[in-house]
Structure 1
């Protein structure tokens, strides 16, 4: 194996993983260093889970046991993810472990793997797919930085209507280059199209196993950035990069038992699907904190503008937070429509699977579907609103015993602490809660995650 890893054709290996905020982190190592760390892992300072997006240490909550004195955690490379990123550079995704041999409990990839394993104890496997939304601008990243990420020019024109084929050729050239790059890397995609806001695009990855799709998501976003850099443009995954429409990461999930879609029933949602939806609705207030991770995430939650605003479900109803797609043994699935484009997909998948597992364990009943528009629903109809601020969502997660049991106290306490820290940074660092989009948010979130 070591001979294969030190071949002269390879000059370096790039180790990759996300932190809690969804930033794609890593470092390049020599072939000899890569070969030497296959069993032990590669040391990273625990600070990668201790800095906010402004590069300040989080404070104000109890650190996990392994954090606090800049000890090392260890990235273990998953050789199944190894690809040639460019000539001479191999790319490998991994997850973080302690020197004692235990997984880092707040590592996003580990948490997703934990929920996949927990689901398997109920006899199910999951298939997931994600819709990646992003906004493209004509300016280079250097020009965008100079302008404070404000008043940028949408790539492809200022028209704001979905599926518009009259975009200018610079937008087509960008998306075509992305398509080709994904093909080279072996990342399977299904479709891309113009989205609602000026400069906005959607790219759909092919369905697959949860961890494989999360890995593909992380790499696809890196490709989207690299192609933008190469072409002198800019791309962002902010939940709402302008005062217009926001952008999402809709997550589609189905369960299989012995190769058969457990969500399918000839007459509508199967009993398994109904239990899964029930669990997702029960855990949605707390889950919102994880799938809407940043201050700007909550600016999306506007009735009639696309995102769901109520804790609701419905068959083929895209105004609800959980859309049930029924009637076909292959395509019957749940679409979880709450996550923003800024969500860490590993954490979003872990949280959604946790809600599904809870529903299966508790045989949860989702109640009656919303068969009409779920936006602008008046009070008194028994349909609650999704928490619409970071602090409300963090409080809901803090108080959720179901997600605590499944995701673990250490992760929940860590996550809630970081979100309360983020809220404080916004309110003491120059953020404006009354603006449609403040400069503080653009500076903090435009490039990261």
Structure 2
């Protein structure tokens, strides 16, 4: 077979295989057209070490190795051919899942985790529609210069003042965002809007509603597009939860459930019963879910009252200070907005956590607590509203003890994840992290470019 193949209007020279690891980094390899044709059904060998190294490229110790993990055993990355696109002239890309040799999914495979929960929802007659608001910060410097500076003292692209919705950003910022959405159009990723955000250089890009698996694919690819465009234009972009000592950045997930095409979250008088149970499940699992949707040390520096992110385990109708915002009263747009995840989250894990909470609420018929009708930040202890765990250790302990997330995500995933966060905490405290700094140099080096 020829080493090239025709795809679209260009000659295919290579195919890039793509899938995230547990940290949310988009991993892969480029293969020749002949190699792709030979392995597109059976899959391609990836060493299991991709689930055993941290963002500092160190082997993680302290968690049990199940039978599928060992001395660089191979697992199969099987491409989903419905995701095959022409990424750029001569290069196609395709997203896949991780599978074991016996045909079972790898228990901690991010994309398969979402697929399993989608199937569980389908068993109740529901399909989910989800969207995400991606926040990122742009800098004038190239990634090479950013590395040389240790990712510190960089110049925000578009001006040094923060704003929200302002159109006064300089043309370099606008040109970057226009180039990004042009690329999204080219690779078939639906988007709805982009705007400036609160911090200097910060942007928000809204990915259009779609099914949960496809949303994870679009989210992971959008971050890759934003990086590639930044590199091409001589700039850099970060999805770190707090890339400077200023404002943090998140990734809000919007979700609704349909049955026979009818929005099950809609009710004429407010929350439907299904939406109410979904809220109950999301809040019941929120303390443990924090560990997953706020994965890094810096994630917790974002939890500051009055600055945007939620700080309490709370919900409210159209209340953006709460962790879960309910949008009600419209047969099409009634939905829940899950506002807890940081910009640094693994897209598939974030979606899985939301689906798990929704499923738990529906299957267990969990009633929501009283909504917060006023500001949900800085609530006194007497309010009875719990705070979101504000350290990696607290969040990890909450996840380890959460029976609902263990049921819906699996013991193996939960134990693996908690062990990996304990390792991350140890690396921070033994290799130069400063818990008293607004943002330590260790965090900038470790997280600025990843995931």
- Tell me if structure 2 keeps the 8 A contact 1:5–1:34: no
SS of the counterpart of 1:134?
strand
Q: Quote the Cα distance in structure 1 between the aligned partners of 2:309 and 2:292.
A: 16
**Of 175, 178, 181, the match for 1:176:** 178
Q: Quote the Cα distance in structure 2 between the aligned partners of 1:65 and 1:199.
A: 46
1:22-101 matches, cutoff 5 A? 22-101=24-103
CA RMSD of aligned residues (A): 1.2
Aligned to 1:307: 309
Q: Quote the Cα distance in structure 2 between the aligned partners of 1:64 and 1:324.
A: 40
Q: Quote the Cα distance in structure 1 between the aligned partners of 2:309 and 2:70.
A: 38
**Of 149, 157, 160, the match for 1:158:** 160
Aligned to 1:371: 373
Aligned to 2:111: 109
Q: Quote the Cα distance in structure 1 between the aligned partners of 2:407 and 2:172.
A: 49
Relative to structure 2, which stretch is displaced further, 332-341 or 210-219? Answer: 210-219
Task: Quote the offset at 1:380 in angstroms.
Answer: 1.8
1:179-258 matches, cutoff 5 A? 179-258=181-260
- Tell me if structure 1 keeps the 8 A contact 2:56–2:446: yes
Aligned to 1:123: 125
- Tell me if structure 2 keeps the 8 A contact 1:6–1:35: no
Task: Quote the offset at 1:6 in angstroms.
Answer: 3.8
Task: Quote the offset at 1:63 in angstroms.
Answer: 2.0
Stretches of structure 2 that go unaligned for 5 or more consecutive residues are: none
Instruction: Give me the TM-score of the superposition, normalised by structure 1.
Output: 0.98
Q: Quote the Cα distance in structure 2 between the aligned partners of 1:373 and 1:314.
A: 10
1:331-370 matches, cutoff 5 A? 331-370=333-372
- Tell me if structure 1 keeps the 8 A contact 2:4–2:13: no
Q: Quote the Cα distance in structure 1 between the aligned partners of 2:425 and 2:415.
A: 15
Q: Quote the Cα distance in structure 2 between the aligned partners of 1:367 and 1:211.
A: 30
SS of the counterpart of 2:17?
strand
1:104-138 alpha-carbon deviations (Å, 9 max, x no partner): 01010010111111111111110000001000000
- Tell me if structure 1 keeps the 8 A contact 2:4–2:14: no
Aligned to 1:274: 276
Stretches of structure 1 that go unaligned for 5 or more consecutive residues are: none
SS of the counterpart of 1:127?
strand
Task: Quote the offset at 1:5 in angstroms.
Answer: 8.3
Aligned to 1:318: 320
Q: Quote the Cα distance in structure 1 between the aligned partners of 2:426 and 2:163.
A: 36
Aligned to 1:409: 411
Relative to structure 2, which stretch is displaced further, 98-107 or 6-15? Answer: 6-15
Instruction: Give me the TM-score of the superposition, normalised by structure 2.
Output: 0.98
